[in-house]
Amino acid sequence: MTKYSDEFQLRLVMEVESGQSITVVARAHGIPKKNLQRWVSIYEHGGIEQLLLKKQHYSQEFKISAIEYRWQHHLSYRQAAAELEIPNEGTLYQWEKRYLEMGSAGLQATKKGRPPKMPKKSEKLKRNLTREQELEAENAQLRMENAYLKKLNALVQERIARESGKKRLPSTN
């Protein structure tokens, strides 16, 4: 979720477009000047649609071409981001940093989030089992169940024997 609503951003950009300075508008509304500069730049290059555009997913090829475009035209991150319609110049900076550290492999999309605790069992493996393998797996499962039930029965018998020994009354001889 963004910190500033679309309406708020648009209202401030319109104040700047009407002739007020970025510094005055930013101070009046208590926001960082850089944020307002970025919004105005996005608005000037892409219009209202670009200003309201959120969360994009970019291909590896686009990221590389954006970095090379910035280098070839000797642009600042803000200028390049505005011309390429990237909402935040920090995004372009991060791409360039990863590109310089790891090459083009650093710009590949990566899976985000916490990995699952247990990997999902592949259905292909289940389908590829032969009839003999299925029977062997079922046999192993039945052996485990049988061993479990035998152990459970032994524990129950032991408990019954222990409890019946406690309940015996001492002889009155």
d(CA 88, CA 53): 11
Neighbours of 45 (CB within 10 A): 15
Helices 60-73, 89-102: inter-axial angle, 10-degree rounding: 100
Cα 162 to Cα 25, 111, 150, 156, 172, distances in angstroms: 85, 57, 18, 10, 22
pLDDT of residue 142: 95
Q: What is the pTM of this model?
A: 0.45
3-state secondary structure of 62: helix
3-state secondary structure of 172: coil
Cα 101 to Cα 61, 94, 95, 104, distances in angstroms: 17, 11, 10, 9
- Name the residue type at position 118: M
d(CA 104, CA 96): 10
- Segments of the chain scoring below 70 in pLDDT: 1-2, 53-55, 119-128, 166-173
Each residue's pLDDT tens digit, 123-142: 666 666 788 888 899 999 99
Give the right CATH number for 1-54 from 1.10.3470, 3.40.50, 1.10.10, 1.10.1330. Answer: 1.10.10
User: At a CB cut-off of 8 Å and minimum separation 6, what does 14 contact?
Assistant: none
Burial class (CB in 10 A: 0-12, 13-18, 19+), 64: middle
3-state secondary structure of 59: coil
